[in-house]
Amino acid sequence: MRLRDLLAPLAACAAAAPSVAAPGHVLECPARAPAEWGDARGALVGVDVLSTRRGEAIDDAAPPSLVPDSQVIRAGTLHQSWRMNQDGPDWQYHVWCRYSGTTRVLKLAAPGVRQCERLLPAAHPDRPPQQMFCD
């Protein structure tokens, strides 16, 4: 038996792996603050979805935060969703992730995403666990 014959099944498995693996999200707020923030590694407790004209600076003191396009409660979890990047090429979208124990904000550009969804406890919307992801 030749080496090529032995490696062929492995190559076939490797080629098939991407179609079997669950796809990740295009953009996601990490569940915890970045490690680079040191001791302030709190849990995700809030998000802002922002839309600005291209080239326009965002005022950190009064960010142009968008309200969700829809929200519904299912099994005690509040599902909020935003339609993204539908205002044309002159607009850009951002997601800001906020964490407990710090005033720092993880600011993520969101080009090319079509929708963002936030999941959080309906009874305590300011507490973890929370998720924010965009596709």
For the chain, 135 residues long, the average pLDDT of each consecutive 10-residue run is 37 28 76 90 94 92 94 96 94 96 94 95 92 96
pLDDT at 20: 24
For the CA atoms of 107, 80, 122, 133, what is the dihedral angle to 10 degrees?
A: -50
Residue 106 is which amino acid?
Answer: L
Please give the C-alpha separations between residue 79 and each of 39, 68, 119, in angstroms, as whole numbers.
30, 10, 5
How many angstroms separate the CA atoms of 123 and 49, rounded? 22
Show Cβ contacts of residue 135 under 8 Å, excluding neighbours closer than 6 positions: 25, 26, 113, 114, 115
pLDDT at 7: 32
Domain ranges across the chain:
26-134
Token pair 């099944």 in the structure block, residue: 9
How many angstroms separate the CA atoms of 54 and 62, rounded? 18
Token pair 């922002």 in the structure block, residue: 50
pLDDT at 23: 57
pLDDT at 114: 96
* 0.85 surpassed by pTM: no
Residue 51 is which amino acid?
Answer: S
How many angstroms separate the CA atoms of 46 and 40, rounded? 15
